[in-house]
Amino acid sequence: MTAGAMPRPIVFIGDSITEAWGYERPALFAEHGFVNRGVGGETSGRIRARFRQDLLAAGARGVHLMCGINDIAENEGPVPLGEVQDNIAAMVSEARGLGLPAWLGSVTPAASIAWNPEISPGPSIAVLNRWLRDFAARSGAGFADYHAALATGTGALRPEYGTDGVHLSGAGYRAIEPVLLAVLRGA
């Protein structure tokens, strides 16, 4: 590395929960050299479509991927969980193909979806999180269980950690940062 060159970052890719993390906790991103590539409203398919380019454009040394809630919320219509899993697996494979380690963040808790109240997200979140944990173990990716740090006993987002039952507040991000840092240190 040349004098004054910045180290390559870990790139955070995901939806609005990732996007807001950078806004709510900019000191964390600055301190650790993280780059935020979260885009609100995106499903796993949309994230997959931009994944490689985001990693290359940022000069990534690793990737933290967290997505799935917008698929569960049916932002673009119903999506089978198998398709979400395929998208995530393809992104981890893409990262590996680029020689990059990957860390998967669990889907954060939600008992309801404010913008789609017909959806009951809890069961799908539980299924996807079990798959994420198992897939991370099988694929050698890291797994950050944010759900456990944020959920009530019934699987809802603890009110003090959220803004609308889905999105995290500053306190919510502070609650998951020890989980993130422990997983990254374990890499």
Those residues with Cβ within 8 angstroms of residue 146's Cβ, 6 or more apart along the chain or in another chain:
66, 105, 106, 108, 176, 179, 180
Domain 10-184 fold: Rossmann fold (3.40.50)
Residue 3 has pLDDT above 80, yes or no: no
- The 10s digit of each residue's pLDDT in 35-70 is 999 999 999 999 999 999 999 999 999 999 999 999
Cβ atoms of 29 and 37 closer than 8 Å: no
pLDDT band at 7 (very low <50, low <70, confident <90, very high): confident
DSSP for the chain reads --TTPPPPPEEEEESHHHHHHHHH-HHHHHHHT-EEEE-TT--HHHHHHHHHHHHHHHT-SEEEEE--HHHHTTBTB---HHHHHHHHHHHHHHHHHTT--EEEEPPPP-S--TT-TT---HHHHHHHHHHHHHHHHHHT-EEE-HHHHHB-TTSPBPGGGBSSSSSB-HHHHHHHHHHHHHHHHT-
Q: If you average pLDDT over residues 101-129, what whole number do you get?
A: 97
State CA 116 to chain mean position distance: 21
Bridge partners, 142 (sequence order): 103
Q: If you average pLDDT over residues 131-142, what whole number do you get?
A: 97
Bridge partners, 6 (sequence order): none
What would the two tokens of residue 44 be? 């796993």
In the prediction, which pLDDT does 35 show? 97
Please give the Cα distance from 27 to 14 (Å, whole number).
19
In the prediction, which pLDDT does 2 show? 46
In the prediction, which pLDDT does 1 show? 43
Residue 110 has pLDDT above 90, yes or no: yes
In the prediction, which pLDDT does 186 show? 85
pLDDT band at 181 (very low <50, low <70, confident <90, very high): very high
Q: If you average pLDDT over residues 93-104, what whole number do you get?
A: 98
Four-point Cα dihedral 63, 144, 178, 24, nearest 10? 60
In the prediction, which pLDDT does 6 show? 63
Please give the Cα distance from 27 to 30 (Å, whole number).
5
Residue 71 has pLDDT above 50, yes or no: yes
